[in-house]
Structure 1
Amino acid sequence: MTDPSTATVRLGRSGLVLDDREETLLCASLFYFRLPREVWEARLAQVRATGYRAVDVYLPWNFHETAPGVWDFEGRRDVGAFLDLAHEAGLAVIARPGPYICSEWDGGALPAWLALEDGLRLRQAEPRFLAQVQGWFDRALPLLAERQWGRGGSVVAVQLENELDFFDTHDRHAYLTALRDMATGHGIDVPLIACAGQGELIGATGGVEGVAPAFNFYPDDRSPFVEAEVRRYADLVGAKGLPLLVTETNRAHTTLRRLMASGATLLAPYLQASGYDFGYTPSVGNWGDPGGFMTHDYDFGGFLSPVGEARPETADARSLAALARTLGPALARATTTAAQGIRVDVATSDSPSQLILDGGGTLTGVPNLSEEAGLARVPTGLGELPIALAPLSCALVLQDLPLAGFGLPGVLRFANADLVGADEHGLRFASRLPSTVAFSAEGETPTVVDLEAPTAGEPKRYTIRTGATAWEVEVLHPEDVATPDGTAGVLSAPPPEPEPLTEATRIDLETRTGETEAHELAPSSEAVGVYRGRTHYTAAVAGLGELLVEGAGDIVDLALDGTALPSFATFGATVRVPLAEASRLDATVETWGHANFDDSRLPGLAIGSLRGLGRVWAIGSSEDVTALWTVDGGEQWAGDPAPVRTLAGWSSTRIGRPVTYRRALPVDGTGHYALHLDGLQTPCEITVDGASRIVSPNDPWVHLAPGEGREVAITMAHWPVDSGGATLLRLEPVRDWQVEAQPDHALLALSQKDGAGTAIALPLELAPGEEAWLDLPVPSGGCSLRFEGEQVRVSAFARGELLGRVWLDDAARPKFTGGDPGRLWIPGSWNTGAVRLLVHGTAGGDRPRLVRVTAAASPE
């Protein structure tokens, strides 16, 4: 362990320099909040065994402040213990306390109740929000400060915010200044960084002194333009004496090699060590159409699976990490430039990169971006040398490397295998393919030798001579590259065949308490204390013909007079609900998660958007307002008076040019109205009584409060298609609701209750809207559980935790993104021999059925 009195960390041109050791750092994301505490130590050891020297760690605010003013840093929330284990494992930590983290986590870690505070504006230099952030930082930052590298701990850098260049922060300089001052005020003296999600340096850092820019690159792995883009950013920060820190990027080591050759001194592929979202913690938003539900299985294909399987990429990780260690300061201090003269017979980079190594020599990245094997010809001082390229690979070609620093004579003139070790006894390379090396010594003719491809477990050894000088060379298969402590790396065996689980016990337990409170209007879930969980609503609707539901999210289940309707999960888009003469409406709204990324296309995808049933209106009348719009075409024509056309009915050859349509709507000045733009093709700007807003085709509705709508202007780009029409609905609020709040802790308490049981065999059939508790025996140890069926949602519980949720074969379910939507994981340390299932039947398809459950053993 480093003596804390002498430990240092600094940020220089060569990167994050720890104890004066200059080395290109490989860093894996590893999140304590996505793992049981019992596996932290083992998972950290797995990362260290790959040769990665660092981990980046988010600290999610809402994981620790579970309700307003209620803080939890115990058990699996004990981030201090995790950081201590990282230090013991020899891993540096880049700590990322937010306040916003994204990470496909519920709300990006911003507590759900913040949106309830009047006037509070998220991620702004605004007093109410900064006061809340101060409360979080007052608890999180001291934990980091006392564990800084220079104080005997693991923390080598602290990231403020996350990808702020994606967000409309009005005064970025003031906001980042406030966060910086909070950090330094708590004694953070390791480097402060801020990452750009789309390359905007000032957008990420606010231009604040003392906050260094970092970059998140997520290119197409097969893009030929990666190198040129990355070199541009290396040059930009290099001109300021700063390193190129890549705080997030793709997992594939082919891409990481390209980034390394382009000048990155920190490479932190996001989610190399995958995890799992226990509880009601996944987000909604990213990568759907337009929105999706993030799976509990949080897996983007990194070298460690969510359940701890070491995938084949761990061998590539060990090889690249060993190369970085071997070259050390020469690599970290290198400058990057465009390589010249390389000829490749397959798809490759448009402008490959070459590093000019400090002290002599070069390292050149030669990518093969195709799925076919290829051949490259590399110009050298020995003439043009051919090298084989594996599919989807990037050879790192060393040339003219002086060997004196390793205690060896002469120069390594050429090598297209990875140099994974060098000392006075010789050189060690790693390759899956035949390779070539060339050596020279002063006054002697260089020697070029072709090396055979090794097989796993059978390295090739050579003595290479040029005149009187000799070098011992060993060529390893990447799977045989040792871990940093010299032990052999281990890949996980293929998973065993899953075991069918067909027997269960149906437990006679309620699925809710039935205790309600009266509310005049339907409240948001957060307003009744449901930050995660479910909210149940009941109202009388006798005599009403149709409802309009605005802003409901996430999973909405309605029943009319006890008959379930198909679920909907439309991310807050407005929904019309015919009542068919029903007298009673029941609704259950389950929060899958809050939006983690600000997206204006739908109300429920905006950061800070609330959950619950939204606003519920009875439709009193409907009027067609498609006609009688006056047209202002701007440059489209000359003339006055303006013509009158239907909405979107102006014809012109000038497509794409803005056209504005105006009219007064027949509103009475006292009621609420909704304007529906049926068939809207593209986003348009709607100005109501001088106030402007953007309306998306995903939710083509405009709510008009009493007094609004006498003057409406709609500006849209001209496109000669039939855009449908416009309808004005008069609304009356549905009043007198009975509401039962069922937050996550209440559901967890129900899941642990005892009750009489009846043995059953799967499949289990339910009626639409019916719910049932099951106890399902499972094999011992860690298990991946998989569910089969249709028209059911399943929540699985164990040891007082929600393992996760699956939604089976239902046309109403949204797109699931992230990992495997059908897998739930029970860690071995949580396995008491059974899981408790809450099964909910949905309407709209065949009869709801849970057909089958299988279990496959998983490593820990």
Structure 2
Amino acid sequence: MGHRSHSPLPLGPRSAVSRSAFLRAGASLTVPAVAGPAVLGASSAQASPAPRGPATSVPTAPGRGGDDDPLEDGLVHGSSLFPGNDGQAHEVTWDARSFRIDGERLHLYAGEIHPWRVPAPAQWRELLQLMRAAGFNAVSFYFFWGLHQSESGGPFDFTGIKDVDLLLRIAEQEGLFVIARPGPYVNAEISMGGLPAYMTNRAASLRSTDPQNLADSKDWLSAIGEIIARHQITDGGGSVLMWQIENELIDDDAPRKEFVRALAQHVRGIGIDVPLFHNDYGLGGRFRDSADLDLDFYAYDHYPLGFDAGGPRRQIGEAEDQFREYAPESPHFITESQGGAFTPWGAPFDAAQAFEFTDPAFTRQWGVRNLGNGVTAFNYYMAFGGTNWGFTGSPSSGFTSYDYGAAITEDRLLTGKLAVQKELAALQEALPQITSMAPGAAPVVRDLDGAEVTAYARIATDSEPSASDGGAPRLLGFRLADSNDETDTRFAVRLVLGASDEEGDDGTGGAGQPDADDADPAITYEGSWTAQDDAAAFGGPCIAPRRRGRARAGRSPAPAST
């Protein structure tokens, strides 16, 4: 088996494709997830239908307020029916492998968009439709406190570009789960990390249990929470799936733990019953004791290349073992994963270089690495960067453009990176059993011609039917060991799909199995062809030709794959 990759659309690295072509190409995708093009999957089961629960309310309608409802915008609306818009209450649970909705496993595949970084709400729908067409099943939103309130104790503005209710309703219509991230602090390279300007001259730590600052933070969470509470998947109101508490606190000392705990308890007290989590910076293990903090699970962000888009890229490493030290019983969730890089004021690189820094080749390698490490909940930061309007950008780390080198450019053009992200979504949709998979023994790479290869293997644990007797759905992934290497590389691996009575010499199992490629002239066959109804084939029963008789293997000059 060689290492091959391709793009479904003829895109250059930074070139554009028409929206109509991309939307047509995405029309066949249902609620999908992530996988990788340099990956093989073997399974017989089809994707499971979207989970359903008991009806508790009327399904979400196209509009809620008559002709003057901003949701009645005259645009083409999504038509996906999924647990976020069916008007039914759903239960969100999880185990070590994945999140579940009503017991059905979910591979959460999201991209980040900041609603205030587009010119007007009219662009929200377009961006969400592009994400849906690219195979994403979720969107992550930061919410910018300082944009909604200008004085302590003052009113909150949720109109126009700040209309959070409208944003969430559009996401529901377009078939996307929502990861809600209202801070209070969010970073996002915005002014004061999202905190309001009126807090500038306060002496006490702004992210603390200081009475004044904590009271203002709770007021904000109550205001935004009143809106989000109407859109929770758990009561049939909408597609909000989870809520992030604060962001990237750099230390989990006692005062900061108390701060996170106070925020979490407040959020639960205002009617939020979706799962709560904190985003740990860089897999540092901070705030991993979720139960003690009134959180539900541990999650983290990871930017493997760093942010110096004008310099050398760092290596992609592995993370599963370290993650499992911190969170042995919850899904491997990367809350923010590198989708580009910001361009600080005065940086010696621009958005085009940030794109090349995180180009389609990196996106493929990163996708395969994450699959190989059991990541089943994932969010690209950013899917679309946009623009820092007015004085919303942070002076130290951003200026007018927040293009971020993302897969959708600041002027909303589509790039080859988005096509690769769509490939990842499509493969995961084809092999939903990835969400139950545990690590297995990686196959031995043979007949290597090129650079060193890292191999991954994962095997389903939910007793799904398999294409081989005694086997299980599995995933094999491969990437270059040096993630910055561009050497053309070919290799072979041995595939033993069924159980073996003996252990092979190379540790892969399958002793006694033919050890030559089936195209090798050393393989000959006796007997005749017959048709057999193969109920184990992926996609359902089919009639497949099968040789009746036995294979004879002569001497092979060198072992290959079977």
TM-score range, shorter chain: 0.5 to 0.7
What is the CA deviation profile of residues 290-335 of structure 1, one whole-angstrom value per residue up to 9, with x for unaligned ones?
Answer: xxxx13211222221122111112222222112112211x210111
What is the CA deviation profile of residues 429-461 of structure 1, one whole-angstrom value per residue up to 9, with x for unaligned ones?
Answer: xxxxxxxxxx99798779xxxxxxxxxxxxxxx
Judge which range, 67-76 or 261-270, deviates more. 67-76
Matched, 1:129 2:227: no
1:393-408 correspondence runs (5 A): none
Residue identity in the other structure for 2:101? L
In the TM superposition, what is the alpha-carbon distance from 1:202 to its structure 2 partner? Answer: 3.0
In the alignment, what sits opposite 1:309? 413
Matched, 1:218 2:303: yes
Matched, 1:11 2:83: no
In the TM superposition, what is the alpha-carbon distance from 1:238 to its structure 2 partner? Answer: 5.5
Residue identity in the other structure for 2:373? S
1:266-345 correspondence runs (5 A): 266-286=377-397, 294-328=398-432, 330-337=433-440, 339-343=442-446, 344-345=448-449
Amino-acid identity (%)? 26
- Larger Rg, first or second structure (1 or 2): 1
In the TM superposition, what is the alpha-carbon distance from 1:112 to its structure 2 partner? Answer: 2.4
In the alignment, what sits opposite 1:60? 144
Residue identity in the other structure for 1:310? L
In the alignment, what sits opposite 2:196? 111
**Which SS does the other structure have where 2:475 is aligned?**
strand
In the TM superposition, what is the alpha-carbon distance from 1:53 to its structure 2 partner? Answer: 0.2
1:762-841 correspondence runs (5 A): none
1:112-191 correspondence runs (5 A): 112-118=197-203, 120-150=204-234, 151-164=236-249, 166-167=250-251, 170-191=254-275
**Aligned CA distance change for structure 1 residues 440 and 20 (closer, same or farther; 3 Å):** farther
1:80-119 correspondence runs (5 A): 80-118=165-203
In the alignment, what sits opposite 1:255? 366
**Aligned CA distance change for structure 1 residues 160 and 32 (closer, same or farther; 3 Å):** same
**Aligned CA distance change for structure 1 residues 112 and 46 (closer, same or farther; 3 Å):** same
- Separation (CA, whole Å) in 1 of partners of 2:212 and 2:289: 21
- Separation (CA, whole Å) in 2 of partners of 1:305 and 1:445: 57
**Which SS does the other structure have where 1:254 is aligned?**
helix
- Separation (CA, whole Å) in 2 of partners of 1:296 and 1:12: 42
**Aligned CA distance change for structure 1 residues 136 and 238 (closer, same or farther; 3 Å):** closer
Higher relative contact order (CA 8 A, sep 6+): 2
Matched, 1:32 2:87: no
- Separation (CA, whole Å) in 1 of partners of 2:206 and 2:383: 30
- Separation (CA, whole Å) in 2 of partners of 1:237 and 1:440: 49
Residue identity in the other structure for 2:474? T
Residue identity in the other structure for 2:456? S
Indicate which of 345, 364, 371 corresponds to 2:476.
364
What is the CA deviation profile of residues 17-46 of structure 1, one whole-angstrom value per residue up to 9, with x for unaligned ones?
Answer: 234331322101011111121111111100
- Separation (CA, whole Å) in 1 of partners of 2:320 and 2:304: 14
Stretches (4+) displaced over 6 A? 439-446
- Separation (CA, whole Å) in 2 of partners of 1:152 and 1:315: 32
Residue identity in the other structure for 1:278? W
**Aligned CA distance change for structure 1 residues 216 and 108 (closer, same or farther; 3 Å):** same
**Which SS does the other structure have where 1:76 is aligned?**
helix
Indicate which of 403, 409, 428 corresponds to 2:535.
409
Indicate which of 22, 31, 39 corresponds to 2:105.
22
**Aligned CA distance change for structure 1 residues 303 and 442 (closer, same or farther; 3 Å):** farther
**Aligned CA distance change for structure 1 residues 253 and 33 (closer, same or farther; 3 Å):** farther
**2:437–2:459 contact (8 Å) kept in structure 1:** yes
**Which SS does the other structure have where 2:200 is aligned?**
helix
- Separation (CA, whole Å) in 1 of partners of 2:549 and 2:206: 68
**Aligned CA distance change for structure 1 residues 383 and 245 (closer, same or farther; 3 Å):** farther
- Separation (CA, whole Å) in 1 of partners of 2:273 and 2:405: 35
**1:92–1:155 contact (8 Å) kept in structure 2:** yes
Hey, which of these two has a bigger chunk of strand by percent?
Answer: 1
TM-score if structure 2 supplies the norm length? 0.64
**2:382–2:404 contact (8 Å) kept in structure 1:** yes
**1:105–1:282 contact (8 Å) kept in structure 2:** yes
1:716-735 correspondence runs (5 A): none
**1:195–1:205 contact (8 Å) kept in structure 2:** no
TM-score if structure 1 supplies the norm length? 0.43
Indicate which of 369, 373, 397 corresponds to 2:488.
373
In the alignment, what sits opposite 2:320? 231
**1:197–1:217 contact (8 Å) kept in structure 2:** yes
**Aligned CA distance change for structure 1 residues 308 and 284 (closer, same or farther; 3 Å):** same
In the alignment, what sits opposite 1:424? 540
Residue identity in the other structure for 1:361? P
- Separation (CA, whole Å) in 2 of partners of 1:41 and 1:245: 26
Task: Give the number of aligned pairs.
Answer: 393
- Separation (CA, whole Å) in 2 of partners of 1:445 and 1:283: 70
Q: What's the RMSD between the two structures over aligned residues?
A: 3.0
Gaps of 5+ in 2: 1-80, 307-312, 340-362, 465-471, 497-513, 519-532, 552-562
Indicate which of 453, 457, 461 corresponds to 1:354.
457
**Aligned CA distance change for structure 1 residues 91 and 378 (closer, same or farther; 3 Å):** same
In the TM superposition, what is the alpha-carbon distance from 1:261 to its structure 2 partner? Answer: 1.7
In the TM superposition, what is the alpha-carbon distance from 1:263 to its structure 2 partner? Answer: 0.6
- Separation (CA, whole Å) in 2 of partners of 1:223 and 1:365: 21
- Separation (CA, whole Å) in 1 of partners of 2:127 and 2:299: 26
Matched, 1:79 2:167: no
**Aligned CA distance change for structure 1 residues 13 and 440 (closer, same or farther; 3 Å):** farther
